[in-house]
Structure 1
Amino acid sequence: MDKRSDRTTGTAGHLTREDSVDPATETFVTHRNLLFTVAYEMLGSAADAEDVLQETWLRWADVDFDTVREKRAYLVRITTRQALTRLRTLRQRKESYVGPWLPEPLLTTPDVAEDIELADSVSMAMLLVLETLAPTERAVFVLREVFDIDYDEIAEAVDKSPVAVRQIAHRARAHVAARRPRETVSPAETRGVLAAFQQAVETGDLRRLLDMIAPDIVLLTDGGGIVQAALAPVVGADRVGHVLGRLDAGVVLRPAQVNGYPALILRLGDRIDTVLALLIDEGLITGLYAVRNPEKLSRVDHETAVSR
C-alpha cells in the first residue's frame, strides 16, 4: 500500500510530524487553509468544507505526485470539484430547512480583519449573496474574484471552456455587485458600531437602538428547527427593536471576531446561545444575522484559520 494512502485514516490537516516527511503531505498541509477557505466560501458550511478537504486528501494521496507541475492549482481543482458535488446536495437539503438558513459562523483569527478583501469574502453578508448564485457561478466567482485564479485553471476545475468561464465570471460579478452593500465597511468601523449597539441592547435604550438601525432593517434567525427562532425574516425597525428588547435577562453579550468582522456572541450560562453578525450600510445597521442552531455553533469555540 502507498505510504500516503496508509496515513489517511485521520482527519485531513490534522497530521502527525511523521507525515511532514512526505512531500505530498507537506504540500497538502501548506495549502490546507486555502483549500478550506475555497470550500467554505462555496458551501457556507465549515462541517461540509472539512468533509470536502477529507475527500480532497484521499484523491491527492492517490496522485502520482511527481507528475503534477502546479501543486496548488491541482489541489484547488480537486477541492472545487468536490465542493461543487456537495453544493448540489446541500441545495436539496436547504429546500427542506426549517426557517431561514444562515452560514455556519467561524471564529476567525485577528489577521483576517487586516485583509479587507478576504474578510469581506467570508463575511455573513457576502456568503448570503453567494447563496443566490448557481453552483458553477459561485465556484467561478470565488476562484476568480477572491483567489485571483487564472481563467484557464478555473476552466479545468469546473469543466468549462475558458471563454465560457469568462462569461460566467462577468455574469456572476454583475449579480453580486447588484446585491452586495453599496460600501465596504472596515472591521474597525464595524467594531465602533457594534460597541454602541451592544451598549444599547444591554441597557435597554430602545431610542438609541432605533437611531442605529435602518427603517427597513432585516433580522434573520437560524434555529434549524432545533431551537426557537423566527421562521420568517423580521423586517422593520420597530419589529426588530421589539425582538431585541425581549432578550433573556441572563444573556451575556461578548464581542468576537466572526467571519472576518466584529460580531457578538451571546451566552446563557456556560453555553453559546447565539452568534449575532451585523450588516452596516451608509452608517446604519441594515441587517442582523442570528445563528442559533446549535449544530452550527461549534466553530466559535476556537479560531479557524482562513487564507487566500
Structure 2
Amino acid sequence: MSTMLSDYDYHLPEELIGQKPREPRDHSKLMVVNKEKEEIEHKHFYDIIDYLNEGDILVRNSTKVIPARLFGHKDTGGVLEILLIKRIDLNTWECLLKPAKKLKVGQKLYIGHNNELIGELIEIKDDGNRVLKFTYEGAFEEVLDKLGKMPLPPYIVESLSEKERYQTVYAIKGESVAAPTAGLHFTKELLEKIEKKGIKIIDVFLEVGLGTFRPVQTENVLDHKMHEEHFEIPEEAAKIINEAKTQGRRVVAVGTTSVRALESSVDENGKLVAQGNDTHIFIYPGYKFKIVDALITNFHLPKSTLLMLVSAFSNREFMLDVYKKAVENEYHFFSFGDAMFIY
C-alpha cells in the first residue's frame, strides 16, 4: 500500500479538462475497466446498459445542487463573491467570501439589482469562513434561484448556458455545492431502459461540499484530514441493498459520493444501516469495500482523495495505467469529462 502523495500523480494535458457538458448527456465516452483481468474497452456511456446485469442494484446520489454562487456589494460599492457552503438554520449560512479581509462583523452585503437579498456578517470562523444571516422577501430558494449561479469547479473556465446541465436528471432534494458528476451522464430514457432490463435503481443522498475539491497538502496521505459531508440512507434503500448482498447480487454505485454514503453506513455484521449522519470517511488503498461491487465514476484530479478511492477499488498501479490510456485516447477529465465503469 502506498501512502505517499506523489504516488497518485499523473500527467494531464490541460486541453483534456472537460469545459462543457457532452450533448446528449449519454454520448460521453465510457471506459470499461475489468479490474480482475486488468482489461479495458472503449465505449460510449449509453453502452453502460450492456454491462449492468438483471438483478443488479444501481445506487445513485440524488442530491440537488443549489445555485450557491452569488455576487454582492458593500455599502461602499466594492463587489465581492459569496459562495454558500453550509446552511446553519433557515436564514443563516456558512460562506466563503472573496475578497473578505476588510469585512467586519455587522457589515451588510447587498445582492441583486434591487437588493432582493441582504446578508449581514455575524461571525468570522477560525478557518476563515464567514457566517451570513440573510433577509429577503418570499422563499429563500426562489430568491436564490433567481440571483445565484451554479458553483462550477475552479478548473472550469467556460460559463454554463443552462443551470440544469450541472444537475443530474434525477436530483430530488438537498443543498449540495457541487454536483455528483458521475450521474450527469444519465438521461431519463437511459434510466428507463436500465429499469426495464430488471435493474433496481435506488436513491441515497450525500450533500457534496467544497471539500471534494480540497487538495491533499500532506506528503503522507494518512496525515490528510478528510472533509465532512452529510448523508442519508433511507430505510427502503437499506432493506433492498442488504437483500441483494445476501443473495450475491451486485451493488453498482454511481459516483464516489454514493460510495462514501454506502461505505459510511455499515454495521459490524456488514449490513447497511438506514440513517442520516455525517461522514468523513477516507478511502485509500488497503480499504476493504463492504457494500460496493462495481463503480461508475469520472476521471479525477491528480493527487486527489478521489483518485485514491478508485485506486482502492482496483489497484494503484493498474489505475494509473488506465489513466495513462485515457490521456492517450483523449478522454475528457473531471466534472464535465467522460466516464469509467470499474467492475
TM-score for both structures, normalised by structure 2: 0.26
- Indicate the structure with greater strand content: 2
Greater relative contact order (CA < 8 Å, ≥ 6 in sequence)? 2
